[in-house]
Amino acid sequence: MDCHLDIFFLEAVLNGLLLAGLLALLALGLNLVFGVIDVVWICYAELVMVGMYGIHYAHKGGAPFLLAALLGILLVALAGALLHVLVIRPVLDSAPINQLLVTGGVLFFLQAAATMAFGIEFRNIGIRLGSVNLMDMSFAWSRLLTFAVALGGMLALWLFLTRTYMGTAIRAIAQDRQIMPLMGVDQRKVYLVTSAIGGGLAGLAAALMVLQYDIYPQIGLQFGPLIFMICVLGGLGNMIGGFVAAFIIAQFIAVGGSCFATEWGYAIAFLFFMVAIFIRPQGLFAAKS
């Protein structure tokens, strides 16, 4: 191992910070859906994958990147709404674990469908934003952009949840599923809107990820477990907690990865997660009991 407190260590820490922005955005959509509908979309990372392919092909078809990204976000928002109507709604009243498993079936399906439609090759959208050099460190613009947009997206969601009628209804449903329908809130509509927003956030993450990563059908497996871990660590459904947890986990990955090898960064993060859950089973930042 070669781990010194030098400039490369600082670079790893800062890159970890930038990764955290993306992970926080990814965790946000899953947390929103869980907090409101009480369902874990285990296929969440696969929705991101669908969005990445959508953006890739829209861009290849001639759309400028921003338009392609917008189309991608809409596509995944639609996918989220469809997932809710076709798959989640029929099992809303069955055992919670069935709801988790049913989206696991969707995971298999999306992965295989993507393999059939797009093949197993790694695809790259081919946009290079270059990087910025600061002292001896270098940061990719795509990562800086991701960080900024992720923060912006989270802010926008927060404003939506606190400043609009629909947002207030969503928060109310999350607090009490039984009472709110009696108060005249249309639960079905709230669930549908929440699923679409959750999907839209996955689409936004996809738009940022196509700038940084190659696209392949199994990319969901690379990010999926990580996102769940962050959500659970922050307390499932707790959006602020998920935000903080993303920063902790990203540091383990970035610093661990730079000191040892990439897998070990991830392995240490998972180990930390398990130990942390044993110490605080409700997640590190559980607000509600």
Q: Name residues contacting other proteins, limited to 112-151 (CB under 8 A).
A: 112-113, 115-117, 119-120
Listed ranges 19-27, 143-151, 196-204, 277-285: which one lies at the site for other proteins (CB under 8 A)? 277-285
> Are 29 and 153 a contacting pair, CB within 8 Å?
no
Q: Which stretch binds other proteins (CB under 8 A): 13-21, 132-140, 204-212, 229-237?
A: 229-237
Q: Does 270 bind other proteins (CB under 8 A)?
A: yes
Query: By CB under 8 A, which span of 12-20, 56-64, 147-155, 224-232 interacts with other proteins?
Result: 224-232
**Is residue 64 involved in binding other proteins (CB under 8 A)?**
no
Of 24, 40, 47, the C-alpha closest to 234 is 24
Distance, in Å, from the CA atom of 265 to the CA atom of 254, rounded to the nearest integer, reads 7
Distance (Å, rounded) from C-alpha 208 to C-alpha 269?
23
- Minimum distance from CB of 264 to other proteins (Å)? 5
User: Could you report how far apart the first and last alpha carbons of the chain are, in Å?
Assistant: 42
Binding residue for other proteins, selected from 109, 122, 136, 162, defined by CB under 8 A:
109
Question: How far is Cα 221 from Cα 78, in angstroms, rounded to an integer?
Answer: 22
| Identified binder of other proteins from the candidate list 73, 81, 107, 196, rule CB under 8 A | 107
Distance in angstroms (rounded) separating the CA atoms of residues 28 and 75: 18
Of all helices (H) and strands (E), which one includes residue 199? helix 187-209
Containing 174, the helix (H) or strand (E) segment is helix 165-175
Is residue 58 at the binding interface for other proteins, with CB under 8 A as the rule? no
104 touches 84 (CB < 8 A) = no
Stretch that binds other proteins, among 2-10, 11-19, 127-135, 258-266 (CB under 8 A): 258-266
Binding map of other proteins across residues 11-30, x = CB under 8 A, - = no contact:
--------------------
**Min. distance of Cβ 129 from other proteins in angstroms?**
30
Alpha carbon distance 257, 265 (integer Å): 4
Cα–Cα dist 40/27, whole Å:
11
CB of 274 to other proteins, least distance (A): 6
| Binding interface with other proteins (CB under 8 A) | 40, 87, 90-91, 94-98, 100-102, 104-113, 115-117, 119-120, 217, 221, 224-225, 228-229, 231-232, 236, 261, 263-264, 266-267, 270-271, 273-274, 277-278, 281
